[in-house]
């Protein structure tokens, strides 16, 4: 077996590497090329590259495509750029806008992995005769008794398993994650050893198609005229103020409520408790009103074995939050999570990702709390 689990020499094993132009995917390609694999680099142009030239923190456009090409030249592998702008717009950007208009808080990076990268690009890799598609994600693919399993990365601070919960069993058979056992400093050191032109390039920070974190302007551009003002109300329906569109809010938000001096009874701070898209209302309340112990998940992707009755798990409800103890039950429409302790700021549109130890059992989209 070679290092990627194939019973053949690396030189006889073609691997397509998804190259975004960043350090992680560049080191992935360089590592596999050094090990003697038949590496082919593929970069996806996902949105108008002209608008992203010179923009820091972007990916998959403009400067990043150029950087991926320079890396491929440096390590001596073929490199192809595929125009996926239309696919990305339909599968990711449109869903992003519509989710906000429904009063949800979407995660477009999950949608991108779920559709464009692990569906469309994976099909391209197979068409190119590849044995696997390798990416620069910090996550581990571990062989278990029933096939490959998805596990957290060794570097907990870089772990990206939350964003890959929608990876299917079939996709996991074909995917490889060479950086899963590395820390970010180790990856940077490898980039320097390979003398890659992106060795000092900063990590991308924002969502690639959302400049400066201005979600509202992107939604307004994608859905002109769809953003309506409405009322900010308390739990009993009393109007406390006005807003310029529910897309400006997320469950758990405290700042920017624009309700004047009103700060709740006994002067307690008020938070966004719920968004009602049909009524165009932002419902606010004190922090205890945010407490949730029951979370329903839809469109569940299950990577574990059978789950009869309730099983003990840990669940991550937002990417920046640590997993918490819970019990999970599979249901016909998805699944239900019962938290051991109340969680605050559980937002529809985010993901609930389930773990047992380091293993990802699966996850789904939070639909109600």
Known catalytic residue at 112: yes
Burial class of residue 156 (count of CB atoms within 10 Å of its CB; 0-12, 13-18, 19+): exposed
Residue with tokens 């062989």: 143
Element (H, E) at 247: none
Structure tokens at 260: 């004047």
Q: d(Cα 98, Cα 111) in Å, to the nearest integer?
A: 13
Question: Can 208 be counted among the known catalytic residues?
Answer: yes
**Beta-carbon contacts of residue 352 (< 8 Å; ≥ 6 apart):** 295, 297, 315, 316, 317, 337, 363, 364, 365, 366
What's the rounded Cα separation, in Å, for the pair 49 and 310? Answer: 48
Residue of 59, 60, 109, 112 with catalytic role: 112
* DSSP secondary structure of 194-222: TT-TTTTPPPP-S-TTSGGG-HHHHHHHH
Write down the catalytic residue from 59, 60, 109, 208.
208
d(CA 21, CA 14): 20
Query: So which residues are the catalytic ones?
Result: 112, 208
């Amino acid at each position: 077996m070679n290092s990627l689990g194939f019973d053949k020499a690396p030189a006889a094993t073609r691997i397509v590497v998804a190259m975004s132009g960043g350090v992680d995917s560049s080191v992935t390609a360089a590592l596999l090329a050094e090990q003697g694999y038949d590496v082919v680099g593929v970069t996806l142009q996902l949105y108008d590259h002209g608008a992203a030239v010179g923009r820091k923190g972007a990916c998959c456009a403009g400067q990043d495509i150029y950087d991926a090409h320079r890396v491929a030249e440096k390590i001596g592998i073929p490199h192809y750029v595929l125009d996926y702008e239309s696919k990305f717009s339909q599968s990711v950007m449109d869903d992003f806008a519509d989710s906000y208009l429904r009063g949800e808080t979407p995660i477009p990076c999950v949608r991108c992995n779920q559709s464009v990268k692990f569906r469309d690009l994976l099909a391209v890799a197979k068409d190119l005769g590849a044995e696997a598609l390798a990416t620069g994600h910090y996550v581990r693919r571990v062989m278990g008794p029933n096939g490959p399993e998805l596990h957290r990365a060794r570097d907990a601070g870089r772990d990206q398993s939350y964003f890959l919960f929608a990876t299917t069993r079939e996709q996991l058979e074909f995917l490889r994650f060479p950086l899963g056992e590395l820390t970010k400093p180790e990856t940077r050191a490898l980039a320097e050893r390979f003398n890659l032109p992106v060795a000092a390039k900063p990590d991308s920070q924002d969502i690639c198609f959302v400049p400066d974190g201005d979600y509202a302007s992107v939604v307004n551009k994608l859905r002109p005229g769809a953003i309506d003002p409405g009322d900010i109300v308390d739990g009993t329906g009393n109007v406390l103020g006005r807003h310029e569109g529910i897309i400006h809010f997320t469950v758990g938000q405290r700042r920017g409520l624009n309700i004047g001096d009103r700060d709740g009874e006994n002067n307690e701070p008020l938070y966004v408790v719920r968004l009602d898209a049909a009524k165009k209302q932002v419902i606010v309340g004190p922090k205890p009103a945010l407490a949730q112990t029951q979370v329903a998940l839809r469109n569940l992707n299950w990577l574990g074995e059978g789950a009869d009755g309730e099983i003990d798990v840990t669940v991550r409800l937002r990417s920046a939050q640590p997993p918490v103890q819970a019990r999970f039950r599979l249901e016909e429409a998805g699944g239900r999570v019962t938290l051991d302790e109340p969680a605050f700021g559980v937002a529809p549109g985010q993901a609930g990702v389930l773990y047992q130890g380091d293993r990802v059992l699966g996850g789904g989209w939070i639909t109600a709390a």
